[in-house]
Structure formats: C-alpha cells, structure tokens
Amino acid sequence: MAKNKVRRVLLKLSGESIGNGKVGIDTKTVKRIAHEIKVAHDSGIEIAIVIGGGNFFRGEELFHAGIDRSRGDYMGMLGTVINCIALQDFLEQNSVCTRVQTAIQMGQIAEPYIPQKAVRHIEKGRVVIFGAGAGLPYFSTDTVSIQRSLELHCDEVIMGKNGVDGVYSADPKADQNAKFFSVLTYQEALVDDLKVMDASALSLARDNDVTLRVFGLNVEGNVAKALLGEDIGTIVSNS
Ligand code: UDP
C-alpha cells in the first residue's frame, strides 16, 4: 500500500457498530467513537471513514421480505448517509472539521464523491466520511472501504467489529474451540470462508495488496489505538 509521510488510515465502521447491534443509532456509542477519532486526529493521523448501513436496511434482507433487490439496496445506501451525518455531528462537536461525500448526490447535506477533493480535505486536516457506498446496488460498504483506501492512497484499512476482538476460525460465542488469528492471509480467509469481509472485498484487497486490521470495537479506546497503529486484533495481508 501507499507510504505516506503522515499515517493515513481508512476506518470502516459497520452499521451494526453505529446501532450497537440494534436498529437505528446508538448515540452513546457514536459519541464514544467520535471522541476516539478525535484523539487520533489530534495526534496527526489522517483519517477517512466509510460507514455501513446494516443498522437500517440491507438490500438482501429486504429482497427476502418482497422488495425489489435494487430498490432495497438503494434504501440500504440511504441508511449509510444517516449514519454519516450522526458521526459528522459528534465529530464537529469535538472540534474536528469534517466533510461528508456521498456516491449518490444529495447537495444539501453532502458533497459528491470527488477523490481529488477528498485528498485535499484530508491533507488540510479534515476527516472525510464517505456515505451511500459505491452508489451501486449489489455492492457492499466493505468493498467500498477497500476501493476508497486505494484511491486515497491510505496506508492501512482498519475495520471495527461488534462483539469480537478480531478474526476467528469459527464464531467464538458458539464454538469454544474457535482459534484466534493474530495474522492471516487473504487467501486463507477466502479459502476457509472466514468472516472477515465479503468475498468481493477480500479479493479486491488481496489483488491490490491492502493491509487490513480487524479489531474489536466494543472495547473502549480500541478505535484510537487502531487508528494510531497499535498492534491489536488481526492483521490481514498477502504475507
Ligand atoms: N449497499 C449497496 N451498494 C453499496 C453499499 C451498500 O447496495 O455500494 C446497500 C446494500 O443493500 C447493503 C446496505 O446498503 O446491504 C448496507 O450496507 P452494508 O451491508 O455494507 O453495511 P454494513 O454491513 O457495513 O452495516
């Protein structure tokens, strides 16, 4: 991945983390995450964020409930924007300057996604938050987080997970023998179908040599630690 003078990180937050496992926004959790982002930002880390929308809608689930898949996906993408605005507000309350850029244009609340402008914002010390995924049905925000990290020349992607502290061979809550991985290759994750990200995101990361850290989001301080580059959770790479 890119080697910048200043560490530049893409933080992926799932909708589940924003809602703390429930439908809607858990303001206490978003407030805490915003505070931790500020801590890392104050240390000079350059930060871009992609937020998911699973706390509102997932197109696939809506499809099974009888809604056209593409429309359901657009509903999912709109949910991500609500999450972006919530995080933006708590960051601004912490005196962190932010911009939201969306892949679907909505001029009153966000800029359109313009990669060069996003880089300029980051260089000026602003945190850029990306919403509405790729603007395309059948994609996921995991894939978008890898794509944005590549286009913005980030050094690392960090992905906060709810309820686990990294990647395991099986669900550690259901299987006592689940093995924790401190390091993992994309190939292993793909072949063993480990629950890191969806396969398209994993392939894109593998093919472009992205370094990914998966960490537990529920532990206080972990977002700041992961942003600052501390060795927590699981590192996924090609080596
Ligand atoms: N989505 C989409 N295209 C994208 C990104 C997201 O269609 O580029 C839709 C899709 O329906 C997805 C939902 O938005 O299920 C929420 O995104 P995602 O599932 O990635 O959120 P997360 O699991 O991270 O909360």
Q: pTM for the complete prediction?
A: 0.96
Strands 212-216, 98-102: pairing kind: unpaired
Distance 142 CA to ligand 1 centre (A): 8
DSSP annotation string for the chain? ----SS-EEEEEE-HHHHHTTSSS--HHHHHHHHHHHHHHHHTT-EEEEEE--TTT--HHHHHHTTS-HHHHHHHHHHHHHHHHHHHHHHHHHTT--EEEEESS--TTT-EE--HHHHHHHHHTTPEEEEESTTSSTT--HHHHHHHHHHHTT-SEEEEEESS-SSEESS-TTT-TTPPEESEEEHHHHHHTT-SSS-HHHHHHHHHTT--EEEEESSSTTHHHHHHHT---SEEEE--
Which of 56, 57, 77 to mutate to test ligand 1, by most ligand atoms within 8 A of the CB atom?
A: 77
Mutate to test the pocket of ligand 1, among 74, 80, 140 (most ligand atoms within 8 A of CB): 140
Ligand 1, atom 21, lies closest to the CA of: 52
| Overall residue count recorded for the chain in this entry | 239
Residue 194 is predicted with a pLDDT of 92
CA 101, CA 42: separation in Å to the nearest integer?
A: 22
104 Cα–ligand 1 center, Å: 13
Q: Indicate whether residue 147 lines ligand 1 (CB < 6 A).
A: no
User: From residue 95, how far is each of 34, 42, 80, 89, 148 by CA, in Å?
Assistant: 10, 10, 23, 10, 25
Q: How far apart are CA 115 and CA 188, in angstroms?
A: 32
Q: Does residue 54's CB lie within 6 angstroms of at least one atom of ligand 1?
A: yes
In which order are the strands placed within the sheet that holds 8-13?
111-112, 98-102, 127-131, 46-51, 8-13, 156-161, 212-216, 234-237, 183-185
Q: What does the pLDDT profile of the chain (239 residues) look like in tens digits?
A: 556 689 999 999 999 999 998 999 999 999 999 999 999 999 999 999 999 999 999 999 999 999 999 999 999 999 999 999 999 999 999 999 999 999 999 999 999 999 999 999 999 999 999 999 999 999 999 999 999 999 999 999 999 998 899 999 999 989 999 999 999 999 999 999 998 999 999 999 999 999 999 999 999 999 999 999 999 999 999 98
Q: From ligand 1's centre to the CA of 79, what distance in Å?
A: 9
- pLDDT value, residue 5: 84
Output the residue whose Cα is nearest ligand 1's atom 19. 54
Q: Ligand 1 centre from 139 Cα, in Å?
A: 7
Q: CB of 141 closer than 6 A to ligand 1?
A: yes
